[in-house]
Amino acid sequence: MSWEGRNIISIDEFSKEDFYRVLKNSEKMIDLLDKGTPLNVLQGKLMSSLFFEPSTRTRLSFHAAMKRLGGKIIGFSDPRTSSRKKGETTSDTIKMASAYSDVIVIRHPNPGAAKLAAESAEVPVINGGDGSNQHPTQTLLDLVTIQQERPPSSSDSNIDGCKVAFVGDLKYGRTVHSLCTALKNFDTSFKFIAPEELEMPKKYKEGTDYEETNELELSDADVVYVTRIQKERFPRPSEYERLKGTYVINENVMNELKDDAIVMHPLPRINEIKSTVDSDPRAVYFKQAFYGVPTRMALLAMVTGALEEGELI
Of the candidates 21, 28, 45, 58, the residue annotated as catalytic is 58
- In sequence order, the β-bridge partners of residue 165 are 191, 224
Report the residue count for the chain: 313
- In sequence order, the β-bridge partners of residue 264 are 225
Assess whether 236 carries a catalytic annotation. Answer: no
Say if residue 58 is exposed, middle or buried (CB neighbours under 10 Å; 0-12, 13-18, 19+). buried
Of the candidates 135, 163, 174, 228, the residue annotated as catalytic is 135
Assess whether 242 carries a catalytic annotation. Answer: no
Alpha helix (H) residue ranges in the chain: 16-35, 57-68, 90-100, 113-120, 136-149, 174-183, 202-205, 237-243, 251-255, 285-290, 292-303
- In sequence order, the β-bridge partners of residue 104 are 48, 125
Of the candidates 59, 63, 107, 163, the residue annotated as catalytic is 107
Task: Please give the angle made by the CA atoms of 136, 56 and 79, to the nearest 5 degrees.
Answer: 90
- CB atoms closer than 10 angstroms to residue 94: 25
Of the candidates 35, 86, 202, 236, the residue annotated as catalytic is 86
SS3 at position 22? helix
SS3 at position 278? coil
Q: How far apart are CA 297 and CA 63, in angstroms?
A: 10
Assess whether 107 carries a catalytic annotation. Answer: yes
| Phi, psi angles (nearest 5°) of residue 48 | -85, 120
AA identity, residue 112: G
Among 215, 214, 212, which Cα is nearest to 189's?
Answer: 212
Secondary structure element (H or E) that encloses residue 193, with its range: strand 189-193
- In sequence order, the β-bridge partners of residue 208 are none
Active-site residue set: 57-58, 86, 107, 135
